[in-house]
Structure 1
C-alpha cells in the first residue's frame, strides 16, 4: 500500500484496440465481465491546464478487488493517453487510487512534487479524476479518482458482478 495514497485500486491500460484487449483478458486471463462504454461523455477534460476535446472508449472489469481499465482514445486530441501511444507504448499506463476526499488527496499529490498532466470530470462534481505525470517509467502514471458519488456505486457493482461471473455475457455495453 502506498503510504501517500493508500491501496492501488485500479490498473489502467491504454490500448489501440479495446475490443481485442477485452477478448484477450477474457480468453487468456478469464477476467470479466467487461462493462464497456463506447464513447465516454466527460463534463470537462483538461490537458496540462487547457481544454481538450478527448474522445475515448473505456472498459472496466475486476479481478478480485483490483479493477482493470482499458482505454482507447478515439481522436487525436491532446491527453496523456495520446502521449503514451505516440511514444510507442501500449499497455499499463497508470495506477489509480480511489478516494472520498478528493481535494485533500489532490493537494497531497501536488505537495509531493507530482505534476498534473490531465484531469476531468464524469457525471458531476463527485466524478472528478486527475492524472499526475512524473519522470518514472512507462506504466507508472498516478491517477486519483473521486468515488464519493455514483462512480463509487458503479465500481462496487462491477466488483460484485465479477465475483459471481460464470463466463457468460463477457462484454456488457453501458450507456
Structure 2
C-alpha cells in the first residue's frame, strides 16, 4: 500500500463532550465540533445489518484530528467489539486513513487476514469501513476516500484550531 498517514485518532468514550473538554484542558486541542445521532443508511457489522446510533466530537490536535465517539444505542457494534457493552472501558478505538478506494483497500486488508468489522454509509452516499486490526495493532482502522465534503470538513476543523470564541464544543449536523 502507498504511504497512508494517520488522519485521525478516535477514542471510544461514554460522553463525547466531557472527553473533548478534558482533552482540550490537558493538551490545548480543539475546539470540538459535536455531531449528535449521526445518520446512517447502512451499518453492516461483521456481515449483519444493524442499527448504529452514535455521536462524535471532532477537534484538531497539532496535525491530527481527534474524534471522541460514543454509541447511543445498545447492541453489537464495531465499538463494542473493542470495548464491550457495559464494561465501562474506554480508549483508542481506531485511526483513520484516506484511501483511493474503500472497496479495494478493504478487500486488500481482508486478503491479509483482517476482518471487516463495519461497512457503513451516510445519507449522502459517503461510505467508510472499520477493519479489525485490534490483534495486530491494538485498534481498528477506519478507511474512507478523501471526498470534497470530507476534506473540506477536515480543513475547517484544522482552520478553527485554537479558536475557542464559542466554547470548547459546538453542535453541528452531519448527513
Alpha-carbon distance in 1 for matches of 2:115, 2:81: 15
Contact 2:106 2:131 in 1 (8 A): no
What residue in structure 1 maps to residue 90 of structure 2? Answer: 90
Q: How far off is 1:47 after superposition?
A: 0.5
Q: Deviations for 1:48-103, whole angstroms, at most 9, x for unmatched residues?
A: 11111111110111112211111000111321112223174301111111124323
Aligned length: 170
Q: How far off is 1:131 after superposition?
A: 0.7
Alpha-carbon distance in 2 for matches of 1:13, 1:5: 23
Contact 2:31 2:59 in 1 (8 A): yes
What residue in structure 2 maps to residue 114 of structure 1? Answer: 114
What residue in structure 1 maps to residue 58 of structure 2? Answer: 60
Task: Give the gaps of 5 or more residues in structure 2.
Answer: none
Matched residue SS, 1:118: strand
With structure 2 as the length reference, what TM-score do the two structures score? 0.87
What residue in structure 2 maps to residue 80 of structure 1? Answer: 78
Q: How far off is 1:144 after superposition?
A: 0.7
1:147 matched to 2:138? The reply is no
Q: How far off is 1:139 after superposition?
A: 4.0
Contact 1:43 1:124 in 2 (8 A): no
Contact 1:92 1:138 in 2 (8 A): no
Say which of 54, 68, 71 aligns to 1:70. 68
Q: Deviations for 1:141-162, whole angstroms, at most 9, x for unmatched residues?
A: 1111222241221112112221
Alpha-carbon distance in 2 for matches of 1:41, 1:149: 19
Contact 1:114 1:133 in 2 (8 A): yes
Alpha-carbon distance in 2 for matches of 1:23, 1:47: 30
Alpha-carbon distance in 2 for matches of 1:77, 1:111: 28
Change (3 A) 1:20 1:105: same
The Cα RMSD (Å) is 2.0
Q: Deviations for 1:116-141, whole angstroms, at most 9, x for unmatched residues?
A: 1112012433x211111135268421
Change (3 A) 1:43 1:151: farther
